């Protein structure tokens, strides 16, 4: 079943709030998301700044222990401009370099979705002009955390959250552990593009038209968000420091290879030792995000 | 000038040892390296285990403050087998998962350079057999550290060292800060292939035939190893934790963009914020290695 | 005014829940707390395990930006036994030592408040018997976090939380930043005693009789929990890794010396450089806790 | 046997250098150390700055696997002034606070050993004057590292080194793992006093008269420096990040309790869980230092 859902309230936390829509496994939802500052498709402020989320969507029959499969059918900017900050965050450079960082200004980019590019004119920067290809993605995706918690969209955890991982994009499948009855799925914080690490604290923050299809897998023992793309299995770990995020992601990938792909831990070690790949989602948010990846071409069949 | 150098002694530290050969800027050296365990091309033990190095090569006229440019003309396995360990290291997984790790056995792989593959038969692993493409690289490359220090080839620092970064391979250019008179260049620790992170503590450890050309750039203010490939500028940071290695790499890339590519820090922030890439060299050695990368296609011209 | 409050519901999160009692600046509250597992003074299970909290107490007129001063008049065990876990947590030892850790069993201690000692008989341990002095404290103390969040009592943040710092005891004053209207103060998770770091994941978990007096300071710019004891000013930082918790605590102590004690940052640096002390609260919880301390005897007058 | 040794050369690394004196187990050495900047008792520059060391002292019959016991009979300033830096290091505060740090100036303190105080007059600081009690200690103590390495006195490791731990003072016993034949003991980097963490990067740097007695214990399986004071057993861990230094220290203390004090790991866990103490040596140097401590009053007898 297809749903066309126009949001009219937004949340700044992932939590067990009143669902905006109830959907079933197999359903597809067409909706939209605001930018991180609360602006919508026409640029006007319609929600509290700080990654306001669209949702929660209640998935019928979802129970803790299930896995929520989310096919990202479309993540596409629905306006012609976005915003970034102008300075790398101080904790991402050497302490001795911090005094050389510029001021942290909000800066506007023109975004041309048809041409697939974003352009910045910043008279204070050298060079003044910068044009780069776009690669739309969402920073925030997840379900309600366990135990009735409501956790700010600034951060992330086992439930997903503000992972700011640039491969959460059209065509990717995100697999989330269900932690509460109904799962309560949220999405938001679109970026026209974002560098690895989100080192300035933003991608090009923009409102989006999004479409996703959900599917429920009963009683899948996953502990962290996972993804599947055309080429890779990906396990996501969210924590500070980066070392711990990497431990979570690596462990989750080993567990996945062992539970679903006929490896034991020794076999998975051999494979990962020589073929593992890592991406860094963000090193800006309270919890950092690391992706541990395995190319499907290496998988045992 | 071309040198064909057959090593007959090896060092297990990067230090100010007696040079094995004196070369000039512009010279090319053809030589060989042992595997990490001290075995040569015929498989016999010829040096103390623990990443024995070929070198040091003294570069005429090199002085502290210069930059040593090393073109890696060839990194190619010179025998038909290599070795790995069989288990992910405990500090790379969640503490609660450590008891599930297998024993840490040395395991032999057949390496077929012509076919470009490596194959493992391990009756204790499930699956028993694993074949993956090779991508030869060296784990250790660097110069003598400052102040007369001699630092174990287990670790790495500003001088390079055991960075275990899989893109230090044929075709790459490595740019090292000269820290002592004559630079004193070392190379070793070849891997037929290695996954990102070197999570089992080894690549497929193998002896290599190597060729490199050196060039001296006078008084270049670089603080960490840098690299240039066909597609990217890369700055390497070596430290624990991973967060600090990432700070060093990110800072060095910003400095490089500003000194050589007409960016100021604000302009570099804009570029990195939306187009930065990271690789993880290793998360196994005493110092971890992070690579901060910028695609040349984005560079201001 | 004195309040004698008998709790009948408990929360496993710090959040903006319905207040159990409204009090005014200057009031004193006599109440009780459960142990971490939800057992009360008679040992029966009366709440959901996981640090169930007594509260929230709404403080009249408290507004974001104020500071809530909490005098801990009494923290005293109200029963004769408590519980600990039997093993250091794996992330607190070297990865290579993890396989040598014992099983993580819940273990009972006899607690004699009059004699001031706790005694464990564990036939599986060598030695079998252990008696140590008690030093009662609370692991959890704090206010509702900002933005309507509800955050598990497993962790901590600017709002306080599960800091497991052993000097949060009778006679100490805790100063908390007010983050939401009414402050919404919580307390719980008593320990008869706890080692620095809480390395087994528990103190001797026990129910408590507690008494505290609150006072409101209007518009005090504090960012993290602070404490004052007979001898020290203490700033608390809560984060992972330990390095970041230490940064928060150190920065907060410098700010405090500058705002309230006539130091500038250079003067505070001189003092801290030669007279700073640190305690480690816990290295077990999702966020670790570090205390930066300055003896009052060194303070400028 | 007593040795009165007047040093005339100094090393800026811990390494396998030519011994300055050969001593036997049981011998006592009276000697002196320079300050960190290379100035001696009369204030003149006599060695290269950067923690120049007195030594190495070769201990007869010392072999790898032994433990070198060093009784610190005396650590006493031999002049009337010392130096500190004027600013907390940027990596020890929040990134956002770094721009508020003062300049990093070398600042002179008057040191009155008889009165037991040090006084700073700094017209740029508020307040201008600061007087604190002294507590003399040495920042650097250790043996030659393994494998012929020579490692800068900036940092530390299993061999000891620049640990900057303020309890390495008169009356303490330091127990070092012997890593090379003859042990090769070094000492230096005296501080009239130093705050916990060494957050400005110095104590009050001063030259010292020192006396120490050595004793050799054959084949003691210790992995990290240990200490014994009148009241405590102390295990030291040196690493970055702080979390890892703490893992090393905690693990070493557990091993020590198990090998020498009749605990098994479960019994040691019970004890440490409720009675462990931690100190932070330094959070300034390339490797940080954490001390895990157990009061002797709790030890099983």
How far CA C68 is from CA of A76, B155, C29, D279, in Å, comes to: 46, 49, 14, 30
User: Cβ of B241 and A241 within 8 Å?
Assistant: yes
Residue D221 is predicted with a pLDDT of 86
Residue A301 is predicted with a pLDDT of 60
Residue D210 is predicted with a pLDDT of 98
- What string of DSSP letters covers B101-142? -----EEEEEEETTTTEEEEE-TTSSSSEEEEE---EEEEEE
pLDDT of D111-168, one tens digit each? 999 999 999 999 999 999 999 999 999 999 999 999 999 999 999 999 999 999 999 9
Q: CB under 8 Å to B115, separation ≥6 — which residues?
A: none
Pairing of strands D150-152, D13-15: antiparallel
pLDDT of A121-148, one tens digit each? 999 999 999 999 999 999 999 999 999 9
Residue B51 has pLDDT above 90, yes or no: yes
Residue B300 has pLDDT above 80, yes or no: no
CA atoms within 13 A on the CB side of A24: 3
All residues of chain B having their beta carbon less than 8 Å from the beta carbon of residue A281 are: none
Residue C221 has pLDDT above 90, yes or no: no
Residue A208 has pLDDT above 70, yes or no: yes
User: Cβ of C94 and D269 within 8 Å?
Assistant: no
pLDDT of C127-142, one tens digit each? 999 999 999 999 999 9
Please, are residues A250 and A256 in contact by the beta-carbon 8 Å criterion?
no
Reading the block at residue A91, the tokens are: 């904790």
Distance CA B185, CA B14 (A): 9
Distance CA A195, CA A38 (A): 22
Q: C7 pairs with which residues across the strands?
A: none
Residue B18 is predicted with a pLDDT of 97
Please, are residues C220 and C66 in contact by the beta-carbon 8 Å criterion?
yes
Nearest to D13 among B12, B50, B147 (CB): B147
Section A171-181 average pLDDT: 98
Q: Which chains touch C (3 or more CB pairs under 8 A)?
A: A, B, D
Mapping DSSP to helix (H, G, I), strand (E, B) and coil, where does residue A180 land?
Answer: coil
The structure's pTM equals: 0.97
Spell out which chain D residues touch chain B, with contact meaning CB-CB distance below 8 angstroms.
12-13, 15, 50, 147-152, 239-241, 243-244
Please, are residues C235 and C272 in contact by the beta-carbon 8 Å criterion?
no
Polymer length in residues for chain B: 301
Count CB neighbours of C188 within 10 A.
Answer: 30
User: Looking at chain D, which residue has its C-alpha nearest residue C292?
Assistant: D196
Nearest to C91 among B95, B99, B241 (CB): B95
How far CA B222 is from CA of A93, A95, B249, B260, in Å, comes to: 16, 17, 12, 11
The single residue listed with the structure tokens 């009778």 is C170
Helix axis angle for B265-275 and B242-260, nearest 10°, is 130
Instruction: Give the CA dihedral A62, A64, A65, A66, nearest 10 degrees.
Output: 10
Residue A277 is predicted with a pLDDT of 98
Residue C13 is predicted with a pLDDT of 98
pLDDT of B273-286, one tens digit each? 999 999 999 999 99
Q: CB under 8 Å to C134, separation ≥6 — which residues?
A: C77, C111, C113, C116, C117, C118, C192, C193, C204
Specify the DSSP class assigned to residue A204. Answer: -
Section B46-63 average pLDDT: 98
User: Cβ of D15 and B151 within 8 Å?
Assistant: no
Residue B221 is predicted with a pLDDT of 85
Q: How confident is the model at residue B214 (pLDDT cuts 50, 70, 90)?
A: very high
Residue B177 has pLDDT above 70, yes or no: yes
Distance CA D206, CA B19 (A): 39
Can you count the helices (H) and strands (E) in chain C? Answer: 2, 21
Please, are residues A113 and A207 in contact by the beta-carbon 8 Å criterion?
no
Instruction: List helix spans (H) across chain C.
Output: 242-260, 265-275
Kindly report the average pLDDT of chain A as a whole number: 97
Distance CA D172, CA D233 (A): 10
pLDDT of D4-28, one tens digit each? 999 999 999 999 999 999 999 999 9
The residue among B123, B134, B281, B277 whose CA lies nearest residue B199 is B281
Nearest to B266 among A124, A203, A269 (CB): A124
Angle at B23 between CA B21 and CA B24, to 5 degrees: 170
The residue among A90, A91, A43 whose CA lies nearest residue A205 is A43
Section C79-85 average pLDDT: 98
pLDDT of C136-180, one tens digit each? 999 999 999 999 999 999 999 999 999 999 999 999 999 999 999
How far CA A3 is from CA of A6, A23, A209, C132, in Å, comes to: 10, 8, 13, 64
User: Cβ of B88 and A250 within 8 Å?
Assistant: yes
Please, are residues B191 and B145 in contact by the beta-carbon 8 Å criterion?
no
User: Cβ of C13 and A148 within 8 Å?
Assistant: yes
Section B72-101 average pLDDT: 97
Pairing of strands B226-228, B208-217: unpaired
For CATH 3.10.28.20, list the domain ranges present in chain D: 226-298
Q: How far is C9 from chain D (nearest CA, A)?
A: 30
pLDDT of D162-178, one tens digit each? 999 999 999 999 999 99
Q: How far is A92 from chain D (nearest CA, A)?
A: 9
All residues of chain C having their beta carbon less than 8 Å from the beta carbon of residue B95 are: 89-91, 95, 98
For CATH 2.60.120.580, list the domain ranges present in chain A: 2-80+134-217
Kindly report the average pLDDT of chain B as a whole number: 97
The CA R_g of chain A, rounded to the nearest whole Å, is: 19
Q: Which chains touch B (3 or more CB pairs under 8 A)?
A: A, C, D
How far CA C30 is from CA of C11, C21, C26, C184, C208, in Å, comes to: 18, 12, 13, 16, 11
Distance CA A77, CA A93 (A): 31
User: Cβ of B149 and D148 within 8 Å?
Assistant: no
Polymer length in residues for chain C: 301
Section D56-69 average pLDDT: 98
Best interface-test mutation with C: which of A11, A144, A149 has the largest number of C CBs within 10 A? A149
The residue among D145, D153, D203, D202 whose CA lies nearest residue D176 is D145
The residue among D130, D91, D138, D140 whose CA lies nearest residue D107 is D130
Reading the block at residue B160, the tokens are: 């390079």
Spelled out in words, what is the top-level CATH class assigned to the domain B2-80+134-217?
A: mainly beta
Mapping DSSP to helix (H, G, I), strand (E, B) and coil, where does residue A45 land?
Answer: strand
Best interface-test mutation with C: which of B85, B92, B94, B98 has the largest number of C CBs within 10 A? B98
Please, are residues A226 and A213 in contact by the beta-carbon 8 Å criterion?
no
CA D234 to chain centre: 13
Please, are residues D135 and D41 in contact by the beta-carbon 8 Å criterion?
no
Cis peptide before D56 (omega within 30 of 0): yes
Section A31-37 average pLDDT: 98
Pairing of strands B53-59, B21-23: parallel
Nearest to B244 among D50, D240, D243 (CB): D240
Spell out which chain A residues touch chain C, with contact meaning CB-CB distance below 8 angstroms.
12-13, 15, 50, 147-152, 239-241, 243-244
Distance CA C196, CA A69 (A): 43
Fold of the CATH domain D226-298: Endonuclease I-creI (3.10.28)
CA D172 to chain centre: 11
Residue D301 is predicted with a pLDDT of 59
The single residue listed with the structure tokens 């360990």 is B85
Q: How far is D135 from chain C (nearest CA, A)?
A: 10
Helix axis angle for D242-260 and C242-260, nearest 10°, is 110
Spell out which chain B residues touch chain C, with contact meaning CB-CB distance below 8 angstroms.
89-91, 94-96, 98-99, 241, 243
Interface predicted TM-score (ipTM) of this complex, two decimals: 0.97
User: Cβ of C147 and A12 within 8 Å?
Assistant: yes
Q: How far is D173 from chain A (nearest CA, A)?
A: 35
Give residue C164's region: left, alpha or beta (phi > 0; psi -120 to 50). left
Count CB neighbours of D233 within 10 A.
Answer: 21
Distance CA B173, CA B209 (A): 17
Distance CA B263, CA C3 (A): 64
A300 vs D58, higher pLDDT: D58
Positive or negative CA dihedral for B36, B42, B48, B52? negative
Q: How far is A150 from chain C (nearest CA, A)?
A: 5
All residues of chain D having their beta carbon less than 8 Å from the beta carbon of residue A286 are: none
Cis peptide before D118 (omega within 30 of 0): no
pLDDT > 90: percent of chain A? 99
Section B151-168 average pLDDT: 98
Reading the block at residue B42, the tokens are: 């015929």
User: Looking at chain D, which residue has its C-alpha nearest residue B149?
Assistant: D150
Instruction: List helix spans (H) across chain D.
Output: 242-260, 265-275
Residue C301 is predicted with a pLDDT of 60
Q: Which helix (H) or strand (E) holds B242?
A: helix B242-260
């Amino acid at each position: 079943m297809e749903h066309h859902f126009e949001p009219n309230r937004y949340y700044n936390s992932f939590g067990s709030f009143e669902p905006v829509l109830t959907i079933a496994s197999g359903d597809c939802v067409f909706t939209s998301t605001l930018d991180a500052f609360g602006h919508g498709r026409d640029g006007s402020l319609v929600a509290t700044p700080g990654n306001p989320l669209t949702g929660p969507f209640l998935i019928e029959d979802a129970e803790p222990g299930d896995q929520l499969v989310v096919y990202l059918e479309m993540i596409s900017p629905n306006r012609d401009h976005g915003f970034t900050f102008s300075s790398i965050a101080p904790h991402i450079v050497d302490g001795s370099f911090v005094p050389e960082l510029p001021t942290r200004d909000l800066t506007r980019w023109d975004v041309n979705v048809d041409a697939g590019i974003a352009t910045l004119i910043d008279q204070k920067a050298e060079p003044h002009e910068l044009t780069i290809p776009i690669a739309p993605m969402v920073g925030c995706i997840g379900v309600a955390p366990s135990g009735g918690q409501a956790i700010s969209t600034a951060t992330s955890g086992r439930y997903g959250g503000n992972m700011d991982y640039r491969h959460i994009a059209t065509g990717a499948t995100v697999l989330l552990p269900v932690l509460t009855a109904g799962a309560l799925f949220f999405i938001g914080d679109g970026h026209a593009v974002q560098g690895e690490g989100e080192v300035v604290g933003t991608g090009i923050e923009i409102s989006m038209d999004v479409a996703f299809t959900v599917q429920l897998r009963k009683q899948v023992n996953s502990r962290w968000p996972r993804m599947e793309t055309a080429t890779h299995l990906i396990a996501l770990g969210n924590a500070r420091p980066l070392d711990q995020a990497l431990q979570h992601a690596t462990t989750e990938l080993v567990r996945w290879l062992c539970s679903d792909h006929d490896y034991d831990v020794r076999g998975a070690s051999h494979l990962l030792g020589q073929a593992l790949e890592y991406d860094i989602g963000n090193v800006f948010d309270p919890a950092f995000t690391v992706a541990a990846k395995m190319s499907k071409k290496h998988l045992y069949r």
